[in-house]
Structure formats: structure tokens, C-alpha cells
């Protein structure tokens, strides 16, 4: 029996681990994504009214993108402590940071009340959200992966990923409910604040669950036998720079497609196509369920056919689909818009599902949380922050199809990086370094 199989027999019940990862990540991404929805629907009017609709939307999405720039720093900061002190302590810290920042956004005065201070404070709080998100996702994925038996690692590593997808259902549902009982004037005045402030309840639940699970057996074994890395970030780039760069590219398709479907198309549907907000939010909520289903399917299949193959299929599909997407939705039909959002998020789920297991399997335990978090966060900048800004700038002048070509290019880059990576599903998490040496000799 191999080392990680022995460790797996001593693990905490996987259902408890999966629940802790799922709930915690769902809460974190609920907090993160309500900003995306508010940036599309509300913030241009509340925090950037003097700029006008087009420039206000661009400025609003710029503040949304600020968090992606902060993510790598959060990955380094929280990953450092996750690799030195343990995954569990780091995850509790990220949850608290995200929760506090989100609640404060809900309490923030508008530009009409405090002037330019409002958007400046908003940017500061958004940076805190980005720092927390940078450490959260990778930490939660490492937590699940390092508890899981190898044969089913793709399935168990799915739960933090699908937790983030669940937020794509809850967020539009929350805004939809708030808007259903309020007039447009009331929603803009105070209704948008409700989802932000309500997150205090979810944060309390997440903290309670996360304090009741044990540290991962893989981390405890590494610490007992070899100690911890003094500077995980330096060790990661010294030992596996190629894998970090390729992992950034490999994650691009998932990021591009999930934020295209979950954030950008919401604004496109209401602002460019002029579709009713309740219908746009309803389709967005349905697409969140589709995203979860695709993640489940892709993660399960990745345990059979491999992470790399599933993600390559998703990248190829994405290249074709984004060239069809905007001509489809531009006929301004609510039905075709819904089809566009659903297919986009389904492809995103196919790419996103195996990503957690892939990143865990690529890196050594000593710096796994840091390396995976950095790769994930830089992919977020390229695939999550840049496309909405590019779209807001070029769609009014050149149309959606040109934007679709830009997105297709990013997915092609992702496909190339996946081609250059080797399959990871059979990796033993306790001996990643020696496996790389063996692969190099075989090549």
C-alpha cells in the first residue's frame, strides 16, 4: 500500500471534510460574487453616477477587477501560513477577512453622501475581498485533496469548486428576491445592501463548520517527517516554475467562461440588449445550477479519463462556442439569451471541475497551497478581470463578435498549456518531487 493510501485510511470522515470545504467556499464566493452582480446592476448608479452609463459601467467593472489583482498577494500571504501553520488555520482567516469586507461594503455610504471617498473606500474593501479569495480557493482545494483517497480525488476535490458554483445560484436569487419586493428606486437606494449585510449569517455558519474539522493528514505527515518550508513562495518558483506557468494557462478557460457567464453577460443582457432585469437574473440563477452539474460530471469523469483530457475537451468546446455566443444573444430574445448563459456556464463547469485536483497534484506538499493559489490567482487576473474590461471597452464600438474572438484566443492559450502539461491523476501527493524526476528521466 502506498503512503498516501495509508494516510487516507486515517483521515477524518470525507463527508465532513467535503461539507466544510463546500460550505466555506460557497460563503466566500457568495461574498465575492454579490459584488460582481452589484457591479453590473447597481454600482454604476450608486458609486459612479457622474461618469454616465458607459464610463460608470467601465469604472464599476474596474473595481471588480481590482480584487483579481489582489488575489496573487492573498495567495502568497495566506498560502504562506497555510504551508507553514496548516490548511485549517489559513481557511478560518480567509473566511473572516472576506466576511468583514463584504459586510462593510453593505454599510458603505454612496457617492452622493460622501463624494469621492465612497469609491475609494469601495476599492479598499474590494482589495480585502481579493486577498481573501486568493487564499481561500486553493486552501479549500488542498484541504479536500489532501484528505481524499487517490482513486476518487477528483470527486472529493470537487466540493470546494462546486461550493463556489453554488454561489452562482444563491447570488442572483438573493438579488432577484430583493428586487421582487422593492421598486427600482428602493432597490437602488438600499435594497442592494441586503445581500451584503446578510452574509454575516453565512460567515458565522462557515466558521462553526470549519473549526470542527481536523488538519489534513498529508500536511501533518509532511510536517512530522520533513518540517515546513521557511519561504514557500521562493521554494515553489525555484523548484517548479514551469508547472506554475502552465497551471496559470490551464486554468484560463474555466475563469474566462465562468465570469463571462456569471458576471459579464448579466450586464450585457440588461445594458446592451435591454432585457428585463428579473428575467436576466432568473436565467443567471438557472445557469448556476448548470454550472454545478457540469462540475460534477467533469470531476467524476476526470477520475477515469484524467484531469488534462477533460479540461482540453472543455477548452476546444469553448473556442467554438464563444464565436457563436454573441451572434446568438444579439437578437435580443430572452430565450436565446438564456441559452447563451446556460451553455457558457456549462462549458465553464467542464473546465473548472478537474482544476482543483489538477493543481493539488502538480505541486509538492511543502509549498502546495502557495503554488496552487498563485497559479489560480494569476489565471483569475487574465481570465476573470481582463475580459469584462475588454468587453466593456470594445463591444460598444466593434460589437460582441469581436469580443468573442478575444475570448477564443484566451481559450486557445489555455488549450496549448494543457497540451504541454502531463496527466496528474495517478500522482501520489506525498511524493510529487520524485514523480517529476521519474517523468523527466522517462522523457
Whether residue 184 is predicted with pLDDT greater than 80 in this model: the reply is: no
Where along the chain do its domains lie? 13-437
- pLDDT attached to residue 305: 93
- pLDDT attached to residue 432: 57
b/e 84-96 (16+ beta carbons within 10 angstroms → b): bebbbebbebbbe
Query: For 238-252, how does the pLDDT look when each residue is reduced to its tens digit (9 = 90+)?
Result: 999 999 999 999 999
Query: Average pLDDT in the 91-101 region?
Result: 88
Query: Average pLDDT in the 275-290 region?
Result: 84
- pLDDT attached to residue 153: 92
Query: Average pLDDT in the 159-171 region?
Result: 83
Give the model's confidence band at 11: pLDDT under 50 very low, under 70 low, under 90 confident, else very high.
very low
Q: Calculate the average pLDDT of the chain.
A: 84
Whether residue 442 is predicted with pLDDT greater than 50 in this model: the reply is: no
CATH 1.10.1510.10 fits 13-437, yes or no: no
b/e 351-385 (16+ beta carbons within 10 angstroms → b): bbbbbbbbbbbbbbbbbbbbbbbbbbbbbbbbbbb
Q: What angle do CA 142, 143, 149 make, to 5 degrees?
A: 90
Whether residue 44 is predicted with pLDDT greater than 90 in this model: the reply is: no
Query: Average pLDDT in the 110-115 region?
Result: 82
Give the model's confidence band at 438: pLDDT under 50 very low, under 70 low, under 90 confident, else very high.
low
Whether residue 2 is predicted with pLDDT greater than 70 in this model: the reply is: no
Q: Which of 47-51, 279-283, 318-322, 359-363 has the lowest mean pLDDT?
A: 47-51
Residue with more model confidence, 321 or 14:
321
User: Best-predicted range by mean pLDDT among 110-124, 128-142, 299-313, 367-381?
Assistant: 299-313
Amino acid at each position: 500500500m502506498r503512503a498516501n493510501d495509508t494516510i487516507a485510511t486515517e483521515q477524518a470522515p470525507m463527508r465532513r471534510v467535503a461539507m466544510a470545504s463546500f460550505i466555506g467556499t460557497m460563503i466566500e464566493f457568495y461574498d465575492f460574487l454579490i459584488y460582481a452582480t452589484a457591479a453590473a446592476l447597481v454600482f454604476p448608479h450608486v458609486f459612479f453616477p457622474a461618469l454616465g452609463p458607459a464610463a460608470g459601467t467601465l469604472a464599476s467593472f474596474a473595481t471588480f477587477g481590482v480584487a483579481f489583482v489582489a488575489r496573487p498577494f492573498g495567495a502568497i500571504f495566506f498560502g504562506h501560513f497555510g504551508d507553514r501553520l496548516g490548511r485549517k488555520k489559513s481557511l478560518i482567516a480567509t473566511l473572516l477577512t472576506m466576511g468583514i469586507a463584504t459586510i462593510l461594503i453593505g454599510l458603505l455610504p454612496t457617492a452622493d453622501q460622501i463624494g469621492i471617498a465612497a469609491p475609494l473606500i469601495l476599492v479598499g474593501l474590494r482589495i480585502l475581498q481579493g486577498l481573501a479569495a486568493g487564499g481561500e480557493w486553493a486552501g479549500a482545494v488542498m484541504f479536500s485533496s489532501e484528505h481524499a483517497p487517490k482513486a476518487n480525488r477528483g470527486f472529493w476535490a470537487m466540493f470546494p469548486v462546486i461550493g463556489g458554483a453554488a454561489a452562482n445560484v444563491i447570488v442572483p436569487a438573493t438579488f432577484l428576491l430583493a428586487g421582487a419586493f422593492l421598486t427600482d428606486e428602493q432597490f437602488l437606494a438600499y435594497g442592494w445592501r441586503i445581500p451584503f449585510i446578510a452574509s454575516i449569517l453565512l460567515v458565522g455558519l462557515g466558521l462553526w463548520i470549519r473549526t470542527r474539522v481536523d488538519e489534513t493528514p498529508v500536511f501533518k505527515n509532511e510536517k512530522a517527517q520533513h518540517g515546513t518550508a521557511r519561504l514557500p513562495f521562493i521554494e515553489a518558483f525555484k523548484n517548479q516554475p514551469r508547472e506554475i506557468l502552465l497551471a496559470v494557462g490551464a486554468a484560463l478557460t474555466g475563469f474566462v467562461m465562468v465570469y463571462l457567464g456569471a458576471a459579464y453577460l448579466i450586464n450585457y443582457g440588461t445594458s446592451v440588449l435591454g432585457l428585463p432585469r428579473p428575467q436576466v437574473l432568473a436565467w443567471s440563477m438557472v445557469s448556476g445550477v448548470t454550472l454545478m452539474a457540469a462540475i460534477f460530471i467533469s470531476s467524476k469523469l476526470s477520475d477515469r479519463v484524467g484531469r488534462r483530457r477533460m479540461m482540453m475537451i472543455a477548452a476546444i468546446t469553448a473556442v467554438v462556442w464563444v464565436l457563436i455566443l454573441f451572434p446568438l444573444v444579439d437578437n435580443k430574445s430572452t430565450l436565446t439569451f438564456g441559452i447563451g448563459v446556460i451553455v457558457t456556464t456549462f462549458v465553464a463547469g467542464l473546465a473548472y471541475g478537474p482544476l482543483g485536483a489538477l493543481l493539488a497534484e502538480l505541486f509538492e506538499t511543502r509549498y502546495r497551497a502557495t503554488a496552487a493559489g498563485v497559479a489560480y490567482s494569476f489565471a483569475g487576473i487574465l481570465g476573470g478581470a481582463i475580459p469584462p474590461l475588454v468587453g466593456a471597452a470594445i463591444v460598444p464600438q466593434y460589437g460582441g463578435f469581436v469580443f468573442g474572438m478575444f475570448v477564443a484566443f484566451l481559450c486557445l492559450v489555455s488549450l496549448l498549456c494543457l497540451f504541454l502539461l502531463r496527466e496528474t491523476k495517478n500522482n501520489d501527493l506525498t511524493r510529487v518531487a520524485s514523480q517529476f524526476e521519474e517523468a523527466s528521466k522517462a522523457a
